[in-house]
Structure 1
Amino acid sequence: MFKYSIRMAVAISLIAVMLVGCGSKASNKSSDASASQSASSQESNSAPVSADKKEMVTLKFFHWYNDDQDKWNDVYKAFQEKYPYIKVESVTAGDNNSQEYLKKLDLAAASGDQIDLMMFSAPQYYAQRAAINMLEPLDDYIAKDGYKVADDYYSDPAINGKTYGLPAKKVSFFVLLNKNHLDEAGLTVPKEWTWDEYLEYAKKLTKGEGTNKRYGTYFHSWSNYTQLAQGFQMDDYYLLKPDGKTLNVETPLMKKSLEIRHQAEFVDKSATPFSEIVSQKLNYRPQYFSEKASMIVTGDFLIPETGGTDKVPANFKTAFAPLPTVNKGDPQTTTNASDLLSVYSKSKHKEEAYLFARWYTTEGIQLQGKYIPSYKKADIAKVIDNQLASAKTPEMVDKESLLYVMQNQIPQNFVVPVSYYDQADQAFLKEMDLFLLGKEDVDTALKNAAAKIQEVVNSNSK
């Protein structure tokens, strides 16, 4: 879903890391975590640790978020209040560009800069760096704290039995709907529906012609919007099977995915044409909030914005619906994506870095009030209240439908794909672009995409 030049730059920086640190192996054992406290008891024991008994430690935390906008400064302050001997220094461009961030992270590692903590927006980026021994195994710390990742979090990012990071936010997808447009069309907020019914809604919500046309829906240019029927299944939702070698492209669900797009854009003309998205460089946020599209499939990262911000006020009420299913009666599944927080294998403060990672992914992320945690014990209703508290007009959010979606959709089983999955995804996306521009039919697009992905698998299996 991202440009090839960005991927190449990341690959080059990864090679630089490997050349500088090829002699370093991830076999460095975690030292006795005498300074770390049991994270399971952190929530019940909030007493600060005296700085007098500990040597002051400064952790360098690499990420891409904006510290002010995304309330990370509140996180650092709360952590240091509890652990006065640990200071967290943020290393971020603050531009929320998780792709550019990866290049900067890899170059910092190649240059020997201090890195203690790093975050990844997708499991394949995490897997790539685990493969070159950038990440510290956390299993000894986890065992000492007495919990299991799979029990405490919705995502279990283990690779070959080793855990190199803890899940932070959980990204669930759902459908945002302009409630005013629904009322105008005499439509109700769905609690369960199929993709065929979604297409019917899109037709009924489409209005006008030419530059004033309002589309019923909008599908962004990312790869997952060409995998709507398959990509939200409980299992086998990637383009490759879990073994990383068997293709999962020419399937009935992938064919259905492309048929959804073709029906909406070419037949019903109820979705913004892909040609316009590319030529005009359209983005999902303004398309929805400026009422150019009545429905969008998106993630829970947009929840705070539905209540309005200083820059983009909420001029209409937003309702929420679960993702459509392929067939009536199918489980209401959703994505189970997650930011992953890892400790650098060359950090001189691994114990303290792990302590922050565990604290943030359990307590800190809830205090932050910005994201839905992957932590299973989090109070989701309270987190949503915190999110909406920062909205300018929270009454413009249909909270009842939001809570229903967040409490009833089932997260798909989390899988860490092979480290070269991005290459397969990019090969697939190039072929999908041709399909969405009307240059290939469904079967040809899938056949050609499968052939390109097979080349990727072959080149990485030598």
Structure 2
Amino acid sequence: MKKKRWIAGITSLVLTMGLMAGCSGNGNSSSPAPNNESASGKAGSPVTLKMWGGVPPESGPQEVIDTWNKEHPEIQVEYVRFVNDDDGNLKLDTAMITGQDVDLFVNYTVSHTTKRVESNLALDLSSFTDYNIDEKMGPDAESWKIDGKYYGVPTTKSSYFIALNKDALDAANLPVPKDWTWDELREYAKKLKVGDNYGFIQNMEPFVDPLDSVLSQEGYTKADGTSNLDQPLVRKWLETLNIMMKEDKTTPALGEQLTSKMPVEQVFLSGDVPMLNIGAWLLRSSNNFTDFPRDFKIAFAQVPRLGDSAEKYVTRGGLGDYISINAKSKKQAEAWEFLKWYADGGMAPMAAGGRLPASKDANQEDALNNLLGDKKDTYDLDSLMHVMFEDTTPTYVRSLPQEVMDLRAQEYEKYFLGSQSIDQTIDAMTTRHESYLKQNK
């Protein structure tokens, strides 16, 4: 409780300071120098940029930085890692508001980006006219615009999938699925379950994606302005997972997973559980045979849909790793030069951690080689290529406000923990959502 109160207090302070910053003056004090000229220090001395990101430095960022620094002695970059969770994002926001060294930073959700824009922390990039983000990144970049403007550059193609133990599938005589439903995944989990082990586990980051795959298309609110969190497929998702947790015992109870902080990547790569819901960052661990030795091939499948209609299905994906320039930075011109280089191919070593460059001008062959390294033979290449490169299923980027994400999670956690019924859960979610909507008209 003490930790929660402390975080709440700091969050309140961050938001208050952000609002004060947004209300003071006209916000132009942090704009680029005229003609985007450098605002650097002493003549002849290198400019040092600080870039904050959530990927461990050894999983690509350090190699990217080292390459840039070798080629650009006049602009040196240092990488600062923050953990991409609530505490880590709060640390980044606090650093920017209190004037610590942050020149570039990576946003991992639209909701985080929006809050930073509202707090005048992310620079409007429209002042730079030498790089066309729409042309470079394609139509999917549009989902990152805020009020019609770019406050960052989306740099990666995002992939979310079910990773499968191909050897376990073969032993159970199960094909690698391409187009499937959550009911079919449930049957796979029952057939793949061995002894007391589970058949399926999930990383908590994409845990709720099935709901957003439905509601991002149908709307989080109905035509009359009331909450759509009682949409029938929301109930379907809740009930399916609850049965898998409590009756089938093919996936861990949510309470067990949260309290144990289950290392799901390690559990999957050790061979104990044959199916894992996760994103492309799995590859930074699956390529690491020193810490995660394995003796099976990994196959890939699309995250299953809740409904029966494949035509209406969208999956989470699109573009990600939205890199912004700090609106308070005095080195915006230099940061822009680095950001363009990074987006157009400098980021290729990031593919080793599953982050494929989105720019049409990036060398995709280099990225694929970095993605697989010398572990190519340990993957089912047909399914990998299908999920990461060939699948044409429409995608969405999660943009639901964090407050709604939180209230929704608080209520479905009570259901999975057994402290309220399915009807009580849906009623609570919709009531709280409608209260939020009224307060934020």
Which of 152, 164, 168 is equivalent to 2:155?
168
Q: Confirm whether residue 339 of structure 1 aligns to residue 329 of structure 2.
A: no
Q: Name the CA shift for 1:227/1:247 in 2 (closer, same or farther; >3 Å).
A: farther
Q: How many angstroms does 1:192 deviate by? A: 1.8
Q: 1:239: how far off? A: 4.9
C-alpha distance in structure 2 between counterparts of 1:411 and 1:9, whole Å? 41
Q: Does 1:75 align with 2:64?
A: yes
Structure 2 regions of 5+ residues with no counterpart? none
Deviation at 1:367, TM superposition (A): 4.0
For residue 130 of structure 2, what is the aligned residue in structure 1? 144
The verdict on how the C-alpha distance between 1:352 and 1:428 changes in structure 2, with shifts beyond 3 A counting, is: same
More helix by proportion, 1 or 2? 2
Amino acid at match of 1:277: Q
**Deviations 1:382-428 (CA, angstroms, capped at 9, x unpaired):** 42321221x6x44222122111111233465555736xx11111111
Instruction: Give the CA deviation at 1:432.
Output: 0.7
Q: 1:183 maps to what in 2?
A: 170
Partner residue of 1:366 out of 335, 348, 358: 348
Counterparts of 1:239-388 in structure 2 under 5 Å? 239=220, 247-325=227-305, 326-327=307-308, 329-330=310-311, 333-336=314-317, 338-370=320-352, 371-380=355-364, 382-388=366-372
The whole-number CA distance in structure 1 between the counterparts of 2:8 and 2:359 is: 31
Distance 1:312 1:147, change over 3 A: closer
Is this contact kept in 2: 1:152–1:377, CA < 8 A? Answer: no
- Counterpart amino acid of residue 353 in structure 1: A
CA distance in 2, matches of 1:227, 1:118: 25
1:218 is the counterpart of 2:201: yes
One-letter amino acid matched to 2:47: V
TM-score (norm 2): 0.85
Any runs of at least 4 consecutive aligned residues in structure 1 with deviations exceeding 6 A, and if so which? none
Q: Give the distance between the partners of 2:162 and 2:16, measured in 1 at CA.
A: 40
- Rounded Cα–Cα distance in structure 2 between residues aligned with 1:153 and 1:443: 40
1:144 aligns to what SS in structure 2?
coil
Question: How large is the RMSD of aligned CA atoms in angstroms?
Answer: 3.1
Compared CA separation, residues 98 and 429, structure 1 to 2 (3 A): closer
Give the structure 2 partner of residue 43 of structure 1: none
Q: What is the one-letter code of the residue matched to 2:239? A: E
Normalising by structure 1, what TM-score? Answer: 0.82
Partner of 2:405: 425
More displaced stretch, 157-166 vs 372-381: 372-381
1:452 aligned to 2:396? no
Contact 1:120–1:340 (8 Å) recurs in 2: yes
**Cα distance, 1:342 vs structure 2:** 0.7
Q: Which residue of 2 aligns with 1:57?
A: 47
| Pick aligned residue for 1:119 from 88, 106, 131 | 106
Per the alignment, do residues 411 and 77 of structure 1 end up closer, same or farther by CA in structure 2, a change over 3 Å counting? farther
Deviation of 1:137 after TM superposition, in Å, equals: 0.6
Q: For structure 1, which segment, 99-108 or 155-164, has the greater mean C-alpha deviation from structure 2 after superposition?
A: 99-108
CA distance in 1, matches of 2:208, 2:100: 39
Cα drift, residue 430 of structure 1: 0.9
Instruction: Confirm or deny: 8 A CA contact 2:96 2:326 kept in the other structure.
Output: no
1:12 aligns with 2:1: no
Secondary structure of the residue that 1:427 maps to in structure 2? helix
| Structure-2 change in CA distance of 1:11 and 1:168 (3 Å) | farther
1:205 shift after superposition: 0.7
Matches of 1:247 and 1:272, distance apart in 2: 30
Give the distance between the partners of 1:183 and 1:437, measured in 2 at CA.
34
Task: State the shift of 1:360 in Å.
Answer: 1.1
Give the percent of matched residue pairs that are identical in Structure 1 and Structure 2: 26
Cα 1:124–1:31 change in 2 (3 A) is same
Letter in 2 for 1:256: K
Q: Secondary structure at the match of 1:375?
A: coil
Deviation at 1:144, TM superposition (A): 3.4
CA distance in 2, matches of 1:251, 1:284: 30
- Provide the secondary structure at the position in 2 that maps to 1:59: strand
Range moving further from structure 2, 247-256 or 54-63 = 54-63
Cα distance change on mapping 1:111 and 1:398 into 2, 3 Å: same
1: CA distance between counterparts of 2:185 and 2:131? 46
Number of the residue aligned with 1:107: 94
Instruction: Find the aligned partners of 1:158 and 1:220 in 2 and give their Cα distance.
Output: 28
Tell me the distance in 1 between the aligned counterparts of 2:36 and 2:260. Answer: 56
SS of 2:130's partner is helix
